[in-house]
Chain A
Amino acid sequence: MTPNLRKYHRRIWFFLAGLLPILLVAAIAVIPAERTSPSTPDNQPEALPKVVKTASSDLLVATLRQDSATGERQVEIELKQALTNPSTLVYLIADENADPATGKLLGSLSSRKIYRLDAGKNLSGQEYLLLFDPITHLKIATLKL
């Protein structure tokens, strides 16, 4: 390497030895913090007062609630994980292998949060909760309530 190139080489690296650490510190300083949102509207109905049963799986926690005065039942579903299928309907079915068409449609699920779905009054107490995907026709989860 010619003496001149060697000199430029030396100057470049002295310059970079100063610049790169500054860049590193500056870049760390501007890493954006994860901010939570103050507003999270909840469009779910109030939870009925009495907990009748609770069941859980890796995907969800299901709680059967009841209003003792009116006899109204409610299924509360807390999703523990994000859903990985294109569509999720919630049914109550009479037995574990029953077809969703024979069951009672309670509602649909979307992003990970707590859902409260009306289940009506006429429950036998032996129902299964079924999460069914009408697009792929797959049973996502079946849970004894």
Chain B
Amino acid sequence: MEKQTDEFYIGWQEAAPDGISRRVRMFIVAVCVIVPIIGALLALNQRGFVSSNFEFGETTELEGALITTPAPFLEIYRGNDVNDKLIFQHILLVKPGKHGMGEEISDLEKNLKHSLDGQFVKLQGSLIYHDGKTMMEVEKITSLMLDTTGIHVMLPFKPIGSGTFVGEIADPKCLFGVMKPGYGKPHRSCGARCIAGGIPPVLKTISDNGNLEYYLLVNEDGSPLNDQILPYVGDQVVVCGEVKMVGDWMVLYKFADKNLALAPETMRKELPLCK
């Protein structure tokens, strides 16, 4: 090097020469300033996390009627309103890990040789909840009552409209509490794995006034569409279908003749018409 001073640093000596020490001290002071600034900038410029909950390690026991389609729910009777209408809460059921509840119910139905739809059950598991939507990660079915004289009366699913819906495909287990964030690009693989494992997919939409809505997505006939939706998990998509209320959940029955599509950039102008 042309620019040489007589000072020379040797690491295994006890101390560095003064000039070199001064330069390194400058570097250390610079790092002292940069480290907290970078740490703070990175920490404070995230979009934040929702107030969702996963009661990991905490067990709750709930009883109600098992609903098997369009997705596994526990329907819990909460009383009658002023018009004597029955009030139910619907808790979406999943298994631990990235697995849905559907397979276990099917196996159980095969063993029992009858449908479990409408059967009164007691379930133990951990609750997952966010924004008024509640799920249970079922650890075990503690009681399966074959006597169906309980209070439960199966409600007909109430259609509330049809149209074009645009939003992100996510898995509800992560979205409603197990992960933060449980949506978006970093969560994409996890969402795909959850949906591949039988957890019913959710379409998360945002309305013009900023309200979020969550639609469980199924085929027009109510069958799961998990496999066909896998390439779109984490994407913004356009879905055409009919919405029905299943208790306090909205279920979007995708029209069979309308395929899912990625949402175009300038959405409103280019949206395919569903009608």
Contacts and interface: CB of A to CB of B under 8 A. Distances in A.
Judged by CB atoms under 8 Å, the answer to whether A and B touch is: yes
Contacts of B205: 36-37, 40
A40 B243 CA distance: 10
A43 B160 contact: yes
A134 interface: yes
B187 interface: no
Nearest to B55: A86
A37 B235 CA distance: 14
A26 to B, nearest CB: 15
A105 B132 contact: no
B53 A40 contact: no
A35 B82 contact: no
B269 to A, nearest CB: 11
Contact of A35 (B62, B129, B236, B248): B236
Interface of A is mostly: loop
Contact of A108 (B80, B89, B131): B89
A86 B127 CA distance: 7
Contacts of A42: 160
Contacts of A89: 78-79, 87
A82 B50 contact: yes
Contacts of A142: none
Contacts, number: 123
Contacts of A37: 164-167, 205-207, 213
Interface string A31-42: 011111111111
Interface stretch (B4-12, B106-114, B260-268): B260-268
Interface in A72-126: 79, 81-89, 104-113, 117-120
A82 B214 CA distance: 13
B245 interface: yes
A135 interface: yes
B248 A108 contact: yes
B225 to A, nearest CB: 18
Contact of B53 (A84, A88, A109, A117): A84
A37 B212 CA distance: 10
Interface string B56-72: 00001010000000000
A32 to B, nearest CB: 6
A119 B205 CA distance: 30
B124 to A, nearest CB: 13
B163 A134 contact: no
A19 B246 CA distance: 52
Interface of A: 32-43, 79, 81-89, 104-113, 117-120, 134-135
Given A35-B166, A37-B166, 17 more contacts: A35-B263, A35-B267, A36-B267, A37-B167, A38-B166, A79-B132, A83-B132, A86-B129, A86-B134, A108-B87, A108-B248, A110-B249, A111-B132, A112-B132, A112-B212, A118-B81, A134-B89
6 contacts: A35-B236, A82-B51, A87-B134, A110-B249, A111-B211, A111-B213
